[in-house]
Structure 1
Amino acid sequence: MRYRLIPAVVVIAFTASSSPPANAQWAVYDGANHVQNVLIAARTLQQIDNQITSLANQAQMLVNQGRNLASLPLSTLSTLQSTISQTTALLAQAQNIAYSVQSVEQQYQQAYTSVSSGMSDNALFSQAQTRWQNSVGGFEDALKLQARVVGNIPSDSSAMAQLVSSSQTSTGALQAAQAGNQLMALQSRQLSDIQAELAANGRATALQQARDAATEAESEAQYQHFSQHDAYVPGTVSMFGGNGN
């Protein structure tokens, strides 16, 4: 409905009687005030609409924050810790010469560097036996650890696939970060396996090399021991009762 805006519109109200009323009634309509009221109402509606939009944006922001703060439902930490514990247990079961500086110094001194020409044959044989056992045990330990590392490959592959899938389908930043952290933890554990395997292989090789060096020293000692005896002197041997027959 359109209104023609004028300073004032005079509306004359007549009574239902056909005769003119004694007193006429006048109603005044203020168009400018009406327009002002309409503008105020429009501005109020606009403010309400803006508030609704702002609340909707804040609600969406809270939803997004909830997604970003959602924790990753997958955790491989316990599996990684169990695998590391198994590898550590194998290293602790090292035969004869353990992975200990004090143990290496003591046993190496006794079995590899104390060979001398003054030792008896039994002492030389005992040390040689000890060195042989050390070398065999070292290679056995290395083989066990290699078997453990190879046995970890299927579980590592499965864990890696799950973590990559969780990272790609993560709903928020926290889940993606946690998946990435677990992948890094898996790689760290694999590096620990490689380090342990290299240590076991190096230990076995070092024991064999030390045994070879000690064998050379033992051979020299045995030669020196043999050369200290008097030369062979032939003599008469009597047999069968000493009758010369």
Structure 2
Amino acid sequence: MRPIPGRIRICRLALAAIIAGTALSVQPASALIVFDPRNYAENLLSASRALEQINNQVASLRNEAQMLINQARNLTSLPTSMLGRIEGNFAEMKGLLGQAQRLAYNVQDIDQQFKDTYQNFGSNLTDRQLVDGARERWQGSVSAFEDALKTGAVAVGNIEGTRQQTTSLVDASQAAVGVLQATQAGNQLLAVQTSQIADLTAMLAAQGRANALESARRAAAQEQAREQFSRFMAGNSYSPASVKMFHD
């Protein structure tokens, strides 16, 4: 008698299940996947710390790069320079003062010429020499006032140039990218102010020289007048002569 086909199929399924269970029961434990939350947290914390350290290193490198950039800016020289024009102003005023006529700004020359021209009214001088001395003193005063006017004209002419120099240097100082540029702009501004002071000093010196020579001329004229009056009263080198008031 043959078995029933349905029972055979059930027997086969049961045998397959038994074989599969037997194979699973004999599989090693290392082949199974196990999740450890504690180990995962520790790994995550280590990765976070490593990332933070990398970020700190990146920030440090960024700061060092910025510091180098700032140092380069601080060492950048000022592109604007007014020293040539300032030195030109000094040279112009110095050359003008060197052209002072007659009694110049030399102490030794002034000492000798002043004695010869403004203090010598002795009896060894003739009337003609006295007159020539008076004319020379007058010409000295006129020349001194002319020199003073020239000096004042140069000082006034430098005002516009000084204004332009100051404006350029102030703009350069405000646009400075570093300490060196700002310092150089400040130094050049001081040089411009020094040039102004030099112009003012030269102008005052020229004016004072003119006033001093004029005062000396007046004092010398009074002394010469007394000398000539004394000679007249003493009758020295005076001889009467006929004078015609009207010509025929």
TM-score over 0.5 for the alignment?
yes
Residue of structure 1 in register with 2:29 after alignment = 26
Larger radius of gyration: 2
Greater fraction of residues in strand:
1
SS of aligned partner of 2:22: coil
Alpha-carbon separation, structure 2, partners of 1:97 and 1:153: 28
Gaps spanning 5+ residues in structure 2: where? Answer: 1-18, 243-248
Residue of structure 2 in register with 1:240 after alignment = none
Instruction: Please report the TM-score for the alignment, with normalisation by the length of structure 2.
Output: 0.81
Residue of structure 2 in register with 1:96 after alignment = 102
Greater fraction of residues in helix:
2
- Tell me: CA distance 1:96–1:233, structure 2 relative to 1, closer, same or farther (3 Å): closer
Residue 232 of structure 1 and its aligned partner are, at CA, apart by 7.5
- Root-mean-square deviation (CA, aligned residues, Å) is 2.3
Spell out structure 1 runs of 4+ moving beyond 6 A. 230-235
Q: Which has the higher contact order (CA 8 A, sep 6+)?
A: 2
Alpha-carbon separation, structure 2, partners of 1:20 and 1:224: 161
SS of aligned partner of 1:129: helix
Residue of structure 2 in register with 1:124 after alignment = 130
Instruction: Please report the TM-score for the alignment, with normalisation by the length of structure 1.
Output: 0.82
Deviation per CA, 1:119-154: give whole Å up to 9, x if none: 211110121121112111111111111111111011
Residue of structure 2 in register with 1:6 after alignment = none
Residue of structure 2 in register with 1:148 after alignment = 154
Contact kept, 8 Å, 1:116 with 1:218, in 2: the verdict is no
Alpha-carbon separation, structure 2, partners of 1:193 and 1:234: 57
Residue 187 of structure 1 and its aligned partner are, at CA, apart by 0.7
Paired positions, count: 219
Residue 190 of structure 1 and its aligned partner are, at CA, apart by 0.2
1:161 aligns with 2:163: no
Alpha-carbon separation, structure 1, partners of 2:73 and 2:34: 58
Alpha-carbon separation, structure 2, partners of 1:221 and 1:119: 10
